[in-house]
Structure 1
Amino acid sequence: MRNLLLYSWLCAVLLPTFSQWGTIAYFQLNKEYIARVLCENRDRPELHCDGQCYLARRLKAQQEKQDQQTTERVQNIPVLQLYTPPFLRFDFLPELTVLPTKVTFSYQLPAYSAPLADLLQPPRL
């Protein structure tokens, strides 16, 4: 039962993500029909559109629809305003003050000094 609930929730959350993939899959499966019948540029084969205009139009319409639904959801969220009557003030709680602390950290590496005597000698034969 718990697994069924988990899978149904997961599908409900991921369904809007797969809607664009569904449109692309539909386009791939029906590419010939779309290029022959639904394409705006079917009369101009030199453009090699092959239905890409139809796909772009469908994806743009789908994105605009999804944006509009999101905007409507955000606008329709009920606002919960809490009112506290004056006699329920919580003055008995101590006031917390945070004192600023200065944290300093410095770490210096010692200066590197190469052993010059070994580096500047000619090779021995």
Structure 2
Amino acid sequence: MRILIIYILLFAVLLPSISPLGTIAYYQVNRDYIARVLCENRNRPELHCNGQCYLAKRLKAQQDKQDKQTTEHVQNMPLIQLFCEAAFSINFGRPVQSDPSPQFAYLLSRYDSSLSRLLRPPRL
């Protein structure tokens, strides 16, 4: 059962990268039909298109659709804030420069004196 789930998840992850191969396989199997019926250049045989224009359009449409989905996914992704503006800062003995920009620090639950002993930079 686990192996089946692994294969299903692997297929789901790899599907976007495999989908152009499906389009190319469809073109290879139905090349004659596409060249006779769906090709834009079927009336001009000197171009030797043989349905490649149809294949290019399908691949471009598929890529555009995937790009649009990716853009929507990125735009709708929730933002996770890892840092916040420091309510207090731990001074390690270095002089603090006056900087007009806000200082950011990790979210710390409370100041502990044992932390200040452990988190000291090495002396040169």
Structure 2 residue 14 is the aligned partner of structure 1 residue 10: no
Equivalent residue, structure 2, for 1:104? none
Query: In structure 2, what is the Cα distance between the partners aligned to 1:35 and 1:23?
Result: 15
**Letter of the structure 1 residue corresponding to residue 47 of structure 2:** L
Query: In structure 2, what is the Cα distance between the partners aligned to 1:22 and 1:65?
Result: 15
**Letter of the structure 2 residue corresponding to residue 38 of structure 1:** L
Question: Mapping of 1:17-96 within 5 angstroms?
Answer: 17-81=17-81, 86=87, 88-90=109-111, 92=113, 93-94=115-116, 95-96=119-120
Report sequence identity in percent: 63
CA 1:52–1:84: 2 relative to 1, 3 Å: same
Instruction: Give 5+ residue unaligned stretches, structure 2.
Output: 89-108
RMSD (CA atoms): 2.4
Query: In structure 1, what is the Cα distance between the partners aligned to 2:73 and 2:123?
Result: 43
Secondary structure, in 3 states, of the residue corresponding to 1:66?
helix
- Look at both structures and tell me which one has the larger radius of gyration over its CA atoms: 1
**Letter of the structure 2 residue corresponding to residue 11 of structure 1:** F
**Displacement over 6 Å in runs of 4+:** none
**Letter of the structure 2 residue corresponding to residue 69 of structure 1:** Q
Highest RCO, 1 vs 2 (Cα 8 Å, sep ≥ 6): 2
CA 1:45–1:81: 2 relative to 1, 3 Å: same
CA 1:90–1:71: 2 relative to 1, 3 Å: farther
Q: 1:85 offset after TM fit, Å?
A: 8.4
Q: Number of matched residues?
A: 100
Show CA shifts across 1:56-102 (max 9, x none). Answer: 111011111111111111111101236588484446422442568xx
CA 1:99–1:30: 2 relative to 1, 3 Å: farther
**Letter of the structure 2 residue corresponding to residue 56 of structure 1:** A
TM-score if structure 1 supplies the norm length?
A: 0.69
Query: In structure 2, what is the Cα distance between the partners aligned to 1:27 and 1:98?
Result: 65
